[in-house]
Amino acid sequence: MSRYDYKHQLGTSQSPVTRRISLMQAIHLDAPLLGGLLVLVCVGLFVLYSASGQSTDTLLRQLLRIVAGFAAMMVMAFIPPRTYKRWTPWLFGIGIILLIGVLVTGTEAKGAQRWLAIPGTGVRFQPSEIMKVVVPMMLAWYLAERALPPGWKPVLLAAVLILVPTLLIAKQPDLGTSLLIASSGFLVLFLSGLDWKYIVGLAAAAVPAGAGVWMVMHDYQRQRVLTFLDPERDPWGAGWNITQSKTAIGSGGWEGKGWLHGTQAHLDFLPESSTDFIIAVLAEEFGLLGICALLLIYFAIVARGMYIAMNAQDTYSRLLAGSLTLTFFVYVFVNIGMVSGILPVVGVPLPMVSYGGTSIVTLMSSFGILMSIHTHRKLVST
Amino acid sequence: MPKPITLKDHYRETRVFARRAVVSVFVVILLIVALVARMVYLQVLQYEKYSSLSDDNRVSVEPVAPTRGLVVDRNGHLLADNRPSYSVSITRELCPDIDDTLEKLSRLVEISDSRLDDFHKRLAQRRRPFTPVAVKFKLTEAEIAIIAVNQHLLPGVSLSANLVRHYPHAEAMSHAVGYVGRINESELQKLNATRYSATEHIGKTGVEAFYEERLHGEVGFQTIETDARGRITKVLERTDPIPGENLQLFMDLSTQLAAMQALEGRRGAVVAIEPETGGILALASVPGFNANLFVTGIDYATYNALQNSRARPLFNRTLQGRYPPGSTIKPIVGLGGIETGATTWDYSIYDPGFYKLENDSRFYRDWKKWGHGVVNLHSAIVESCDTYFYELAFNMGVDSIHDFMAPFGFGDRTGVDLINESKGLLPSRFWKKATRNMPWFPGETLITGIGQGYMLATPLQLALSTAILANHGNKVQPRMVKAIGGTPLPAPEVGPPITLKNPENWDRIIKSMRDVVHSAKGTARGIAKDLPGYDIAGKTGTAQVLGIKQDEEYDAEKIAEWHRDHALFVGFAPVQNPKIAIAVLVENGGGGGSTAAPVARLVLDAYFESLRQDANVPTTRAVQTP
């Protein structure tokens, strides 16, 4: 494998001229990944148009965010990986400070403190979004300097690096995001070759940990878990969302009711149809075939991401690219799993499809990093 | 100690990573398969279930209430129609703070505490989300306007309109037309659930109750698509309801209003019948009540006040009131005396003011203390001599009286098309033995002859017997409804006419009744003055409410109002070609001639005036339809 990689590297380096004249290479974009993302975004806009009740206004605003996302991606792709590596500890430090800042001064939004206002500008942002990228960077940075697979000491320290931001975000409280960030950190550990015995041990510890988490949970969080376990418990209240989304999905059948003909979404039965539950609209209007097509697009993107990771030239890039790609898939899985009723309802949007700005910009930034890793190549991999 | 140099084995690290990446991709594929499996489960295996759930969500079959038929009088005047009524409701799911909204709302319109209690009760009941719960019904236009203007301050508050029964002459028609009210539990069990699925009201009394079947109409259905807020987005299919049929009554509104007005301030009843058809021209029970109060639900205090009033406004005196008919039955008893041979037109007696039976120490007194002197049947009717009828009754015997009077409708239901009619009571030996297990005493026969004692009749029965008398024995059945949906109802089957051995006796007894009004000694001579072109045959009656002890004098001044005599009058007009037969009862009104007869005169005048106006109108008014 490695031998093949080496030959491959030599192969590409033998024709530096061809590399330079490629426009995509020049602007540091990866064509297959870009193509996959563009298809996904287009599908998303189609579904959103229907889900929003054919609101061109919503569509334009989403388009604006996508453009902003692509801009962010291009900027991120332009920055070489070594710069990221150099800045990683600083970014992590700043991120932690911002998270503490949120807890101290954060503005209230929907009962939880997630937003931080930049003084004087009126711009608000969620530091936890930044951490979705920075935590895997930090883990990759830390582990890349260690002998891999990591021994128990680095694993312990890595665990601390994961737990600090996780707990800070959980405290906001934003259980969904904190778990996703923890998983992105864990994925770095996993890819670095974390011994299976740690993984089994972690799984074994999950049960008492779960009980502990239950104790410190907020009421609405417990409610979500209970509703997930038994949606029929309160069909008009907390269980309404999941009952209606399952109905929307199930009534789609093989081929769906047709674009703009989903009754669940259009008659307002489906809550959050433009945001977290948008997959139900797709399932209702395009059926099982639509779902399979979408999953195929996601898989293509994940596959390309993993290909980039495997071909990355240094450990930091490898770990970062791999974990960002897998985290992206975790979002997809958690969202579809929650909407279809196999996971509890945690507020995770469907990547690139759900209406909403922050998520798209964050995801596109991480794809920018992937492209940066793939397009800034050294002659010799380390 | 030198800083330990981490020796990195790049080959090994790449291999480890590659292995983990492959594992990851494998897990990713596994999870995608799991998601697809879940989707296959929901979309293929459970498709039927979720598809129908989705349809249930959006599509519902909703019954559409038919419009209730109208009720009009013989000239097409509206007696019952349907009017839009506005109510204000709150939808909990759209209302951020119920208590706050209620408080704001109560500052705009008055909401009674009992309505508030009812609202909270209904709000607590389990129901589909986004179902509005009514706070107040029957809003005035000013209330509608003030809520509409402030609606932006009241999220979740909505106004809605629906058709509600309305009675333009609610008080006058309260017992004749009756009223509709909300369907109650026991009615619900008897009703056809489908037919009444959209109906909230049902006829409770009067014509509204008796003709419920015809007035109601047939329910319609519409298949509607609703959104999650319960708003109708589309009507997919509709079967229109069939409106109820319109009823035209025999009733003459102006005659009815005249009857109500003539009894104003008193307690009593007027029933007027068209002798030819049996059609009821007036059916007044006074006091009446505002029937509109019952339609949207009467509040407890108002209902209690009506229920507990000593004047008994809710009691339909015309059908349910059982009164001693008193002297009003004398013409029929007299006719029976002639028919059975108990007396003749020429037979006369001397009336000393009382009658005495052998072996009975009791004095059966005449209303006139010193007696009427020499009286025959004619003068006994004109002057209403009791002594003559004591003797006549004694000679006839109670069973003969019973047998002769029964065909005139006494002691049985008339079969009128109204509910809760009373039978009255026509006593006989058999009746007393059967119900009281007592023998009949001769003294009881005497007082039966003057319409006292056990004998009881409803004002409707009195009017009917008078109509039969006016018809020379041809029976009719009293009825309210003339036509349904423009088609006249056929006359109901009635028994064979009452035949006399000598039919001339009809005219002779009617002549006596005419002289009650039109002769100098007649007990109702007071109403003969300035009669506008018609004459009246009648008979007064004064019925004792309280038994007067021997040798005690009846003094109206000394007796409490509730113990005073009932005043009665029966009659018909014109004498030769009767158009109207009437019975008047004034509870505790005193003398029949002085109190009841003038009421009859006012009602008759109103009817003939109405007939005259009707004749002047070239075409008869059509039944109005909305």
Q: What percent of chain A has pLDDT over 90?
A: 44
In angstroms, what separates the C-alpha of B24 from chain A's closest C-alpha? Answer: 8
Q: B435-439, B467-471, B562-566: which has the highest mean pLDDT?
A: B467-471
From the list A248, A243, A278, the residue with the least C-alpha distance to A262 is A248
pLDDT at A7 (0 to 100)? 46
Mean of the pLDDT values across residues B537-557?
71
Please determine, for residue A54, whether its predicted confidence score (pLDDT) is greater than 70: yes
Q: What is the DSSP string of A82-120?
A: HHHHHHHHHHHHHHHHHHHHHHHHPEEETTEEEEEEPTT
Picking from B29, B31, B225, the nearest residue to A267 by CB comes out as B225
A288 and B17 within 8 Å at the Cβ level: the answer is no
A283 and B39 within 8 Å at the Cβ level: the answer is yes
Residues of B in contact with A252 (CB under 8 A): 43
Please determine, for residue B156, whether its predicted confidence score (pLDDT) is greater than 50: yes
Which A positions 303-362 lie with beta carbon below 8 A of chain B?
A: 303, 306, 309-310, 315, 318-319, 322, 326, 329, 333, 336-337, 340-342
A74 versus A378: which is more confidently predicted?
A: A74
pLDDT at B621 (0 to 100)? 46
**Catalytic site residue B519?**
no
Mean of the pLDDT values across residues A110-114?
58
Q: A111-125, A239-253, B468-482: which has the highest mean pLDDT?
A: B468-482
B532 versus B616: which is more confidently predicted?
A: B532
Query: What pLDDT, in 10s, does the model give residues B186-241?
Result: 887 888 877 887 787 899 999 999 999 999 999 888 877 777 666 677 777 788 89
If pLDDT is split at 50, 70 and 90, which confidence band does A14 have? very low
Mean of the pLDDT values across residues B370-375?
90
Mean of the pLDDT values across residues A72-89?
93
Q: Which residues is B226 bridged to in the sheet?
A: B232
pLDDT at A229 (0 to 100)? 64
Residues of A in contact with B54 (CB under 8 A): 247-248, 250-251, 263-264
Q: What is the DSSP string of B293-304?
A: HHHS---HHHHH
Q: Which residue has the tokens 């004694």?
A: B394
Please determine, for residue A47, whether its predicted confidence score (pLDDT) is greater than 50: yes
Longest CA–CA span in chain A (Å) reads 66
A130 Rama class: left (phi>0) / alpha (psi -120 to 50) / beta: alpha
Q: What percent of chain A has pLDDT over 70?
A: 85
Strand arrangement of the beta sheet that strand A124-125 belongs to: A107-109, A112-117, A124-125
Chain A residue with minimum CA distance to B10: A382
Mean of the pLDDT values across residues B171-197?
85
Residues of B in contact with A342 (CB under 8 A): 34, 38
Tell me what ipTM this predicted complex has: 0.88
Please determine, for residue A360, whether its predicted confidence score (pLDDT) is greater than 50: yes
Please determine, for residue A160, whether its predicted confidence score (pLDDT) is greater than 90: yes
Chain A residue with minimum CA distance to B42: A250
Mean of the pLDDT values across residues B555-570?
78
Mean of the pLDDT values across residues B616-621?
53
If pLDDT is split at 50, 70 and 90, which confidence band does B125 have? low
B43 and A193 within 8 Å at the Cβ level: the answer is no
pLDDT at A320 (0 to 100)? 94
Which one of the listed residues B174, B285, B327, B512 is annotated catalytic?
B327
A174 versus B81: which is more confidently predicted?
A: B81
What is chain B's percent helix, strand, coil content, to nearest 5? 40, 20, 40
Residues of B in contact with A149 (CB under 8 A): 16
Give strand ranges (E) for B490-579: 537-543, 566-573
Q: Which residues is B221 bridged to in the sheet?
A: B63, B239
Q: How far apart are CA B265 and CA B261, in angstroms?
A: 9
Please determine, for residue B361, whether its predicted confidence score (pLDDT) is greater than 60: yes
Phi, then psi, of A380 in degrees rounded to 5? -120, 130
pLDDT at A235 (0 to 100)? 55
Mean of the pLDDT values across residues A269-289?
89
Please determine, for residue B151, whether its predicted confidence score (pLDDT) is greater than 50: yes
Residues of A in contact with B42 (CB under 8 A): 246, 249-250, 283, 340-341
Question: What DSSP element (H or E) covers A311?
Answer: none
pLDDT at B381 (0 to 100)? 95
pLDDT at B623 (0 to 100)? 45
Question: What DSSP element (H or E) covers A277?
Answer: none
For the record, the structure tokens of B93 come out as 């799911």
Mean of the pLDDT values across residues B559-577?
88
Query: What pLDDT, in 10s, does the model give residues A138-159?
Result: 999 999 888 778 888 888 999 9
Q: What percent of chain B has pLDDT over 70?
A: 93
* Residue from A251, A282, A310, A320 to probe the interface with B (highest B Cβ count within 10 Å): A251
pLDDT at A2 (0 to 100)? 45
How many Cβ atoms sit within 10 Å of the Cβ of residue B207? 26
Residue A288 in contact with partner chain B when CB distance is under 8 A:
yes
Average pLDDT, chain B: 87
A269 and B58 within 8 Å at the Cβ level: the answer is yes
A341 Rama class: left (phi>0) / alpha (psi -120 to 50) / beta: left
A232 versus B47: which is more confidently predicted?
A: B47
* Residue from B7, B12, B22, B25 to probe the interface with A (highest A Cβ count within 10 Å): B25
Range in A39-43, A363-367, B186-190 the model is least confident about: B186-190
B14 versus A87: which is more confidently predicted?
A: A87
Mean of the pLDDT values across residues B84-94?
83
For the record, the structure tokens of A65 come out as 């965010």
Interface A-B, measured as beta-carbon pairs within 8 A, has a size of 155
pLDDT at B301 (0 to 100)? 85
From the list A375, A324, A358, the residue with the least C-alpha distance to A134 is A324
Whether the Cβ atoms of residue B572 and residue B539 lie closer than 8 Å to each other: no
